[in-house]
Amino acid sequence: MNRRTAILSALVALLSLGQSSAQEDPGRAVIGQVHVIVYYATNGDLKAAGPKLSPTSADQEKSLGAEERLRFTHYGVLGQDNQPLLRSYESWAQPLKPSSEVLVRFEARSAPTEAMTGLDLELWLSRKKILKTDAQLRGNQPLFVLGPEWRGGRLIIGVSLAPKS
């Protein structure tokens, strides 16, 4: 009887191993990439942001300056992050690594298309949720959120779909 129990246990273990490798969670399927970038904007001196500030491109400055509330004299990039957009699970972007002062949580509301993607989007600053919205990201157009004042300027958080590689 002891031998029979050992054989049955081994069979059950083998069967369970085969099932777990054959059944992957479809909710964890990657359906896109989300790009989060944190800008520093000021009418004063960019050096106030510190040495880790990177220059912005002409295209970035043009799209930031297109919105009246986001119009400043100077812009710089503080950090950025790309994270996978999962079919049924939330993802977190941490653009100012290793700091967790700015976090963006997002979850797909619909499968992304070339024209649009719906997201549940939350912006967290200093471990406090300051924004929750149902965002509609369109093509290559970022969604900009005017953040808090910081070092004589303002933070601007941009969220967009990363281009397919």
Question: What pLDDT does residue 72 have?
Answer: 94
Position 123: which residue type? L
Question: Against a cut of 0.85, is the pTM above it?
Answer: no
Place of tokens 């970022």: 142
CA-based radius of gyration for the chain: 22
Question: What pLDDT does residue 18 have?
Answer: 53
In degrees to the nearest 10, what's the CA dihedral of 79, 81, 161, 152? -20
Please identify every stretch of the chain with a pLDDT value under 70, giving residue numbers as ranges: 1, 4, 6-8, 10-23, 164-165
Phi, psi of 91 (to 5 degrees): -130, 155
Question: What pLDDT does residue 2 have?
Answer: 73
